With several copies, the nearest count.
Chain A
Amino acid sequence: MKVHEYQAKEIFASHGLPVPKGEVATTVDEAVAIAEKIGGPVMVKAQVHVGGRGKAGGVKYAEDIEAVRKHASAILGMDIKGLTVEKVLITEAMDIDEEYYVGLLMDRASKSPMFIVSAAGGIDIEEVARTTPEKIHTLVIDPRYGAQAFQARRLAYGVSSDPAVVKGMTKALLTLYRIYVESDASLVEINPFIKAKDGSVWAVDAKLNIDDNALYRQPKIEAMRDLSEEDPSEVEAKEAGLSFVKLEGNVGCLVNGAGLAMATMDLVKYFGGQPANFLDIGGSSNPDKVVTAMKIILRDENVKAILFNIFGGITRCDDVAAGLIKAVEMLDVPVPIVARLTGTNEEEAREMLKGTKLHPAATMDEAVQLALELAGEGK
C-alpha cells in the first residue's frame, strides 16, 4: 500500500525529521488559504500514487498567490497516468543548495533492509542506478540489530563532508529505519533530501510504501488508504481475497495460483490472443470467491470469453465447480465459458459440471485455444 506524500511527511515530522511547512488542499480556495498562511513562495504538488508527476506537470513553483491559484486550478482534476488528482500539497518552497537521495528498502538479494544514499538527489534514482551506478551507495542492515549510528554516519560521510549535512543525514537515516520498522514498510525514501542555502537540511519529498501483508497490524496507516487512487475492481477483488489486475485484452482469465495465472495469460498471448486480466482466486476454496471473481471479470465489456483454469491442490475442484455453477445461475453470463478443472477432487467437479453449458477442456493448451476460438479470435 502507498500513502501520499503529505501523509508520509506527517509521519516523518512526528518522528522529528525536518519537513517544510505545508498542508493538503482539495480546492483552489483551500490551496490559496494555505499558501497565505505559509507566506512566501510555495510549491503546488499533485498527490497521486504514480511516479513522474513532475514531468506530467503535477508539481509547480508558485512565486505568489496568483500563481498558487493558477497552478492549483490546473493541477486539481488533472489526469496523471489514468489517475485524477484530487488533492494538492501546498508547501514552503525551499532555497535549494544541494540535493541528495536517501532511502531504505527490502533488498531481496541480502534478504535484509538496505539503505540507499546518493549525492545525485532530486532525480529518478532508478535512472541514476542504471546510468551512473557509482553514484549510488548502499549498505545492508542486519535486521536483528537494526540500523547502527556508525552505519548511517559512514553513509553520510560517503556523500558529504559538510558537518550539517552529515549530522542531518545520519539522523534522517536512523529515523527512516525506525519508521520503516514501526510502520512495516517495504520502502521509505526522501528524494530530495536537501541542504538549503542557509545550511539547514530538509526532507523535501517523502515516500512510504507499506507491506500489504502487515496492514492488519497497522490500523493507523491502513486508515490513510486512498481508495480513489486505486482501481475499484482491484479493491473489490482484494476485499474478497482475490488478486486481480486489469489488462487490455478480451479473454477473461480466472485461475487459481499466481504462477498458473501468469502462465495462462502468457499462453493466451502465445496463441495470438490478449488476456483481459490477471486473476488469482487464491489458495482456499470458497465458492463465493468464484462468484465475486466472475462479477469482476464480467464488468469489463471487452471480455468475449471466460477461461477457467484450475489446478487443484489446496483449492478443491469441486468447490470451484460449485462456485462456478452458482455464479452462472446468479449472473446472466453473456459470454462462453471454458472450464478446465484438474487436480484435487477433479472427478467430483467433472460430475458436477455435466449438463451445464460450460465448455470443458482437458489441458491448458486446449482450454486456451478453445477460449480464443469462442472469443472469435482463435488462430
Chain B
Amino acid sequence: MSIFVNKDTKLVVQGITGRDGSFHTKQMMEYGTQVVAGVTPGKGGQKFEGSVPIFDTVAEAVKETGANTSVIYVPAAFASDAIREAVDAGCRLVVCISEGVPVNDMAVTYKYVKERGAQLIGPNCPGIISPGQSKVGILPAQITAEGKVGVVSRSGTLTYEVVDQLTRNGLGQSTCIGIGGDPIIGTGFLDCLEAFENDPETEAVVLIGEIGGDDEERAAEYIQTKMSKPVVSFIAGRTAPPGKRMGHAGAIVSGGKGTAESKVKAFEAAGVRVADKPSDIVPLLAESYEPARKALEGR
C-alpha cells in the first residue's frame, strides 16, 4: 500500500516536450512509473522517446490511454488551465510541479478541482513517490527506499534531505509527498495525515513544515485527536525575519502569524516531537517507533 500513487497509477505528462518535462519524464520512466501519455498542444501524433504517445489535449490522452493521473510541467501562466484540463478530462489525481501560479487563479482552480471530486497536489511542489511503485514529479528516486514511514512536507529539497536520512538509516518510506509551498495548495497536511493514518502499510509519519499560515497548527490538532501512528516533525524558518517572503510564496511571517515558535509550540502541546535539526529526526522517531530504534541500534 501507499497513498495517492501506486502501481496502478497511469500517468499523463502535461508539458512532456519541455526542458523540465522531458528530463523528468525520462526519470519517471526509468523508475518504472507507468507513463502512458504526454500532452503538448501542436505535437499530437508524435511519440516521446519513441514510445509514449503525445496528444494535443488531455481529453484525447485520457480517452486513448486510460490515464488516471496527470503531472504538470507547463509554465506558471498556463498551469491553472492545465490543472482544470486534467480534471475535466477525468484525471482523479493531478500533480502540479509548476512554480509561480498566481494565487487568485489557484483560489478558483481549487474550487474547480474539489467540485469535480478530484485531487490536486501542488502547485509549486516536488510531487510524490511511493517507492517501488510509482514516482510522479521530480523527487530524486535514488534517495528513497521501500518501507513504512510516510513523509509529508511543504518543502522540496528539504524533503529530499530528510528522506535521504531515513533511507541511510534503513528506514524506507511508504510514500513521500511534497505538498508545495504556496499559500493555496490542493492537498494539505490534514489530507496526507488522514491518508497515512488509513494506510495499513504506513507505520509512522515525518511531517516537515515551515513558517507561514497555520496548517501546522491544524495538523497538530489533528494528530492529537485523530492519529494513532507516531509522528515526528521539523519546522524550517526559525531564523527567518518577519515580513519577508522566504522563497515560497506561502513562507512568510506577517502580522505576528505563522511563526516557527507558534508551530513548534502547537506540536509540542499536541505531544508531537519536534526535531531541532534535520539530523535529529531519525533519533526522535526512534523514541516512539520501534523499527527506527532498531535501525539506529543496528548501525
Q: B-contacting residues of A (Cβ < 8 Å)?
A: 106, 108-109, 111-113, 126, 129-130, 142-145, 148-151, 153-154, 157, 161, 163, 166, 180-181, 184-186, 211-214, 216-217, 243, 245, 247, 255-263, 265-270, 275, 278, 280, 282-284, 310-315, 342-344, 363-365
Taking CB atoms, residues of chain A closer than 8 Å to B156 are: 257-260, 283, 313-314
Partner of A245, one of B241, B248, B278: B241
B244 x A106 contact (CB < 8 A): no
Taking CB atoms, residues of chain A closer than 8 Å to B270 are: none
Q: List 30 A-B contacts (CB under 8 A).
A: A106-B183, A112-B107, A143-B107, A148-B81, A150-B57, A154-B59, A217-B77, A245-B244, A256-B157, A257-B156, A258-B247, A258-B248, A259-B247, A262-B210, A262-B236, A262-B238, A262-B246, A263-B161, A265-B240, A269-B238, A269-B239, A283-B99, A311-B157, A312-B140, A313-B157, A313-B160, A314-B97, A315-B157, A343-B157, A364-B161
Q: Which of B264-280 contact A (CB under 8 A)?
A: 276-279
Cα(A180)–Cα(B143), bound, Å:
43
A-B contact count (CB 8 A): 216
**Dominant SS at the A interface?**
mixed
Q: B41, B99, B155, B251: which has the most chain A beta carbons within 10 Å?
A: B41
Does B219 count as interface, using CB distance less than 8 angstroms?
A: no
Q: A-contacting residues of B (Cβ < 8 Å)?
A: 20, 24, 41-42, 44, 56-60, 76-78, 81-82, 84-85, 88, 97, 99-108, 110-112, 126, 138-140, 143, 153-161, 164, 181, 183-184, 208, 210-211, 213-215, 234, 236-241, 244-251, 255-256, 276-279
Taking CB atoms, residues of chain B closer than 8 Å to A315 are: 157
Taking CB atoms, residues of chain A closer than 8 Å to B56 are: 153, 157, 161, 166
Partner of B159, one of A151, A154, A259, A269: A259
A262 in contact with B84 given A214-B104, A313-B139, A365-B277 (CB within 8 Å): no
Cα(A344)–Cα(B31), bound, Å:
14
Partner of A213, one of B76, B159, B164: B76
Cα(A112)–Cα(B3), bound, Å:
27
> Smallest CB-CB separation from B161: which chain A residue?
A311
Partner of A260, one of B143, B155, B213: B155
Taking CB atoms, residues of chain A closer than 8 Å to B159 are: 259
A109 x B214 contact (CB < 8 A): yes
Nearest Cβ on chain A to B80's Cβ, whole angstroms: 9
Taking CB atoms, residues of chain B closer than 8 Å to A262 are: 158, 210-211, 236-240, 246-247, 251
Partner of A211, one of B42, B104, B158: B104
A211 x B84 contact (CB < 8 A): no
Cα(A186)–Cα(B157), bound, Å:
27
Nearest Cβ on chain A to B71's Cβ, whole angstroms: 13
Taking CB atoms, residues of chain B closer than 8 Å to A157 are: 41, 44, 56-57, 60
Taking CB atoms, residues of chain B closer than 8 Å to A154 are: 57, 59
